[in-house]
Chain A
Amino acid sequence: MMFLNDPINFIAGWMRDLLTGWGLSNGLTTVIIYFIGITVLIVFAMVLDILLVWVERKVVARFQDRIGPNRIGPFGLIQPFADIIKLIIKEDITPAGADKLLFNLGPVLAIASVIILWAILPLSSKIFGVDLNVAVLYLVAAGALGTLSIIVGGWASNNKYALLGAFRMVANMISYEIPMVVVLLIPTILADSMSVQKITQAQSGIWFAILSPLALIIFLISAIAELGRSPFDLNEAESEIVAGFHIEYSGMKFGLFYAGELLHAFTFGGFMAVLFFGGYGGFFGLEKIGFFSWLNNPFVQAVVFLAKAMFGYWVIMWIKYSMPRIRIDHMLAFNWKFLTPLALVVLVNTAVLSKVLAGLPNWGYVLGMFFSNIVIGFITVEILRAYGRKQRKAEAKLSPQSAQNQEQAA
């Protein structure tokens, strides 16, 4: 039963006994066990990634009224392996004039910036890499490496389109990092900690998605921008710059960028689950009742977490395949004139209310938080409506057709 309740420590303890039994020193054993643990985590993430290729292709097919891969294996499940074989046997081309070292470094950094996020992703209360007390900031730091990978890849390709894609991506990521950092502070305030384990445990009664729905929406938007997925896929806008930063990459190097993007989207779905949907827990106190105590099992928690992460991933895909691409000036204006001020208002509101409402009973706290968010959301929509009307009026006055209409009326 030990294995079922705490699998990682059980296996680690068994291996420690085995290795020290073979006469290895204690320090070396620790290094070996950590090394194996890291390898297993990475392999798990990469195998999941193979599955995600299939999920992505099936879901996009449904959104576009197609069936998707269905020829190889049941439901086309073997399709990703066929894709991988194709990518591996393709000719690997390095363009003339490319910076060879940096050209190869780009895809490696792209996948590494995602994999390091898995170090802090809590699959369950017992299955996780590390429980950092600055995990929320770590998420932002890993994003910086992702930006770096795209700059390096785009610059080293020695291609104008690639360079343009890299420029756009940097503008995109540097801008949307700000609302993301601001909005990440809201779960931190609500849980009184930056550790993802503590944030998860703080949501065992009520999800932060209910306490601060606006924060969830802002996080989702800035996460999609950080991923560079549609409607923020300016970095690879096919109709303008062919394929953007990865235009010169072929074979498995392109595959790494692609796999990195899919895994990144899923990982952000996971962080959405952790920060706003209770992560592996969040059963509204159900797990404390004796009958439902099996919900505390690490394997059940892991399944719950992966299901919630998959839901977040599905939402990101849903937006990706149903939204047109945003124009670059709109993208920047939307961030600086709308998203960042709104994120700051929500942050101040949460910080003040969490102290003001601290004395109230639990239901008062929840209702106060929820309705303050609704009020802010309502005011935002009203301001946007007034602004939109003003702009439409100004346009109507300018357009030649309206001038004609006025003439006819006169």
Chain B
Amino acid sequence: MTADQIIFLLCAALIIVSALMVVTTRKLIHAALWLVAALFGVAILYVILQAGFLAVVQVVVYIGAIAILFIFAVMLTRREMLDKGAQTRSNWWLPALLGLLILAGLIFLIIGQPAFGRTAAAMPEGVDTLRNLGTALVSPDAFVLPFEVASILLLAALVGAVYVASGNKE
């Protein structure tokens, strides 16, 4: 086993264990922090795949913004959200079964791929993935349209948020 494989296995174990803990732990704030751990594991996966930019953006956006807002919302609730009673829904096995089925289907599909089991080719020297990504996002024959549509959508959300927050001054 190479060092890369060991790191991958450790990181995969981290993701799976933390993802399980997110849905099984009874303290809401612990669930949010386990989510942070799972997201961090995904960032490590990106690093292993030599996608440094994605890894850093994963940490900035998902941990730095989204997870912190989750935790912030949970913090406002203090201890009342601690779940002590018995489970009210007894059909938890249905989504579990569904999840396992999806997992089996995904594994089946991936094994069928011709690239399965091959080691990734090393990144050629001197390729600046960040620059390529940046150019692709603004070049007309690549992703400029979805990129601009997304920015307009975000702008609309921003304007809406400002309107809601400012209150109806009549």
Contacts and interface: CB of A to CB of B under 8 A. Distances in A.
A177 B64 contact: yes
A347 to B, nearest CB: 16
A133 interface: yes
Given A133-B130, A134-B130, A147 B52 contact: no
B72 A144 contact: no
Interface in A94-129: 99, 102
Given A133-B130, A138-B56, A147 B3 contact: no
Contact of B2 (A27, A133, A140): A27
Interface stretch (A79-87, A162-170, A207-215, A312-320): A162-170
B161 to A, nearest CB: 12
B68 A174 contact: yes
Contact of A102 (B29, B56, B67, B128): B29
A155 B2 CA distance: 41
Contact of A134 (B27, B56, B67): B56
B64 A31 contact: no
Contact of B68 (A31, A134, A151, A194): A151
B60 interface: yes
A147 B65 CA distance: 10
Contacts of B2: 27
A166 B68 CA distance: 12
B56 A144 contact: no
A70 interface: no
Interface string A132-154: 11100110110111011001100
B48 to A, nearest CB: 15
A141 B68 contact: no
A194 B64 contact: no
B75 A166 contact: yes
A185 to B, nearest CB: 12
A20 interface: no
B41 to A, nearest CB: 15
Contacts of A170: 68, 72
A30 interface: yes
A143 B68 CA distance: 12
A137 B60 contact: yes
B155 to A, nearest CB: 14
Interface string A167-187: 100100010010000000000
Interface centre among B63, B75, B129, by most chain A C-beta atoms within 10 angstroms, is: B75
A151 B60 contact: no
Interface string B19-50: 00000000101100100100000000000000
Contact of B63 (A31, A144, A174): A144
Contacts of B56: 134, 137-138, 140-141
A147 B53 contact: no
B56, B63, B128, B129, most chain A CB atoms within 10 A: B56
B12 interface: no
B59 interface: yes
B63 A151 contact: no
Interface in B55-94: 56-57, 59-60, 63-65, 67-68, 71-72, 75
Nearest to A171: B72
A194 B75 contact: no
Interface in A180-229: 194
A180 to B, nearest CB: 11
B128 to A, nearest CB: 7
A140, A144, A147, most chain B CB atoms within 10 A: A144
B53 A151 contact: no
A140 B75 contact: no
| Residue of B33, B64, B65, B68 with most partner-chain A CB within 10 A | B64
Contact of A141 (B33, B60, B75, B128): B60
Nearest to A141: B59
A143 B64 contact: yes
B33 A102 contact: yes
B60 A155 contact: no
A147 B68 contact: yes
A144 B64 contact: yes
Contacts of A177: 64
Q: Which of A31, A133, A167 has the largest number of chain B CB atoms within 10 A?
A: A133
Nearest to B53: A134
B68 A133 contact: no
A170 B75 CA distance: 11
A338 to B, nearest CB: 17
A170 B74 CA distance: 13
A148 B68 contact: yes
> Which 8 pairs between the two chains have the least Cβ-Cβ distance?
A144-B64, A141-B59, A137-B56, A141-B60, A134-B56, A134-B53, A141-B56, A134-B52
Interface of B: 2-3, 27, 29-30, 33, 36, 52-53, 56-57, 59-60, 63-65, 67-68, 71-72, 75, 128-130
Given A141-B56, A148-B68, 14 more contacts: A27-B2, A99-B29, A102-B30, A133-B128, A133-B129, A134-B52, A134-B130, A138-B56, A140-B56, A141-B63, A144-B59, A148-B71, A151-B71, A151-B75
7 contacts: A134-B52, A137-B60, A140-B60, A144-B68, A148-B63, A151-B68, A152-B33
